[in-house]
């Protein structure tokens, strides 16, 4: 994807660019990014900005008893720092900006997901720059580096962006960690994200991984599987923006998949949190993989977890233990325990009601492994 071809761009900016010192906000790197966004808008492109930095922006205002802040302290930092982070961006633009704070729950709920989509479209159609961030002040899980990479990929998907740009403090993916291996080679183009590519993010001793490389590749997987080219580049080098506009290669481009899945299946696969597992027999595994079949109760061996109707579960091959698929259930775990191995014409007698003749509809079922 080249600059001239793109119509809707999502650019994600990491905390290292917004707060180089780790405290407060700085214009050092954000001003060139804002100038690039302004140029995109002048060239008739629509832009969505996903910005980290609220925790760093609020750090100086919260007293710390220890070096490592607690979850409550991080949430307080985010609450006070969000205004500073927004103000740091807004001062660069003459046109209006909009603040959108999201949690995973907002994206997991299908109605809310579609409402966010409609809001973004309305803002962009009115030449307003949406500035998106995770709602860290109410997050229920500990904040960690990389959350906004995944959030940005999800927003790129729901907004229908055709280019996803990750502005970071690294200039792309390498054959190995360049901090440890001086002979490491920069990889300018990744046509397919394979297990070998994922492994290049390294383990816990890899400085790139601790800086979020794993979550960036995860974000690229999400975006490319729905046809969105993803560009990871060094956002603290202003020349990258000029070179990109001129059509010159920068960073690492993760090429989008030619065979993309539907938007709904993508939502099931990459956005929903699963609440349990359904173990299925080998005949059912083959029917799902080879014949695009729905999940029938006759093929269910056992159920793990507690989930209700309409919640997502993983489908596991009973014999191998391998994850096969993910889908949205038409029945609760308790109901499935009662009707597993039975035919649908027995459902009403067993349960006292009948909702569906399948456990998971094919349209709500997505394969999790390449076969």
Comparing 69 with 210, which gets the higher pLDDT?
A: 69
The model carries a pTM of: 0.77
Distances (CA, A) of 349 to 188, 337, 339, 346: 61, 14, 10, 6
Query: What is the DSSP secondary-structure string of 43-82?
Result: TT-EEEEEE--HHHHHGGGS--SSSS--HHHHHHHHHHHH
Task: Decide if pLDDT at 264 tops 90.
Answer: no
Long-range contacts of 115-120 (CB under 8 A, 24+ apart): 116/155, 116/158, 117/158, 117/159, 117/160, 120/48, 120/155, 120/158, 120/159
Please classify residue 35 by burial: count the beta carbons closer than 10 Å to its beta carbon, then call 0-12 exposed, 13-18 middle and 19+ buried.
middle
The DSSP letter of residue 8 is: E
Q: How confident is the model at residue 140 (pLDDT cuts 50, 70, 90)?
A: low
Mean pLDDT in residue range 187-210? 69
Q: How confident is the model at residue 146 (pLDDT cuts 50, 70, 90)?
A: very low
Task: Decide if pLDDT at 319 tops 90.
Answer: yes
Mean pLDDT in residue range 232-251? 95
The highest-confidence range among 147-161, 190-204, 273-287, by mean pLDDT, is 273-287
Task: Decide if pLDDT at 144 tops 50.
Answer: no
Task: Decide if pLDDT at 276 tops 70.
Answer: yes
Enumerate domains of the chain plus CATH numbers.
Answer: 8-265 (3.40.1160.10), 274-367 (2.30.130.10)
Task: Decide if pLDDT at 165 tops 90.
Answer: yes
Q: Which residue has the tokens 């807004």?
A: 90
Alpha-carbon distance of 188 to 35, in angstroms, equals 25
Alpha-carbon distance of 54 to 77, in angstroms, equals 7
Task: Decide if pLDDT at 88 tops 90.
Answer: yes
Give the pLDDT score at 148.
85
Over the stretch 27-42, which tens digit does the pLDDT of each residue have? Answer: 899 999 999 999 999 9
Alpha-carbon distance of 148 to 300, in angstroms, equals 37
């Amino acid at each position: 994807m080249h600059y001239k071809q793109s119509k809707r761009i999502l650019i994600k900016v990491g905390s290292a660019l917004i707060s180089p010192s780790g405290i407060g906000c700085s214009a050092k790197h954000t001003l060139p990014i804002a100038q690039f966004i302004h140029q995109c808008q002048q060239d008739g492109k629509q832009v969505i900005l996903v910005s980290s930095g609220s925790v760093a922006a609020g750090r100086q205002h919260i007293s710390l008893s220890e070096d490592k802040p607690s979850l409550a302290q991080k949430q307080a930092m985010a609450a006070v720092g969000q205004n500073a982070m927004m103000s740091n961006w807004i001062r660069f633009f003459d046109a209006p900006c909009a603040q959108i704070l999201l949690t995973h729950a907002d994206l997991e709920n299908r109605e809310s997901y579609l409402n966010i989509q409609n809001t973004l479209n309305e803002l962009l159609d009115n030449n307003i720059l949406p500035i998106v961030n995770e709602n860290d002040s109410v997050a229920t899980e500990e904040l960690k580096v990389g959350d906004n990479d995944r959030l940005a990929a999800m927003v790129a998907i729901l907004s229908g962006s055709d280019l996803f740009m990750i502005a970071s403090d690294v200039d792309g993916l390498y054959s190995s960690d360049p901090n440890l291996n001086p002979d490491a080679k920069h990889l300018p183009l990744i046509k397919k994200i394979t297990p070998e590519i994922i492994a290049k993010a390294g383990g816990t001793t890899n400085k790139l991984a601790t800086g979020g490389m794993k979550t960036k590749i995860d974000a690229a997987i999400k975006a490319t599987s729905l046809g969105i080219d993803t560009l990871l580049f060094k956002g603290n080098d202003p020349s990258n923006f000029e070179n990109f506009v001129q059509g010159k290669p920068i960073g690492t481009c993760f090429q989008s998949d030619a065979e993309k899945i539907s938007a709904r299946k993508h939502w099931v696969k990459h956005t929903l949190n699963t609440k349990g597992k359904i173990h299925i027999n080998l005949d059912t595994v083959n029917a799902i993989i080879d014949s695009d079949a729905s999940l029938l109760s006759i093929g269910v061996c056992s159920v793990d977890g507690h989930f209700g109707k309409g919640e997502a579960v993983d489908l596991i091959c009973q014999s191998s233990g391998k994850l096969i698929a993910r889908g949205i259930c038409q029945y609760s775990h308790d109901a499935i325990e009662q009707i597993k191995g039975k035919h649908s014409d027995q459902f009403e007698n067993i349960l006292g009601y009948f909702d569906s003749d399948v456990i998971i509809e094919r349209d709500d079922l997505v394969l999790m492994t390449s076969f």
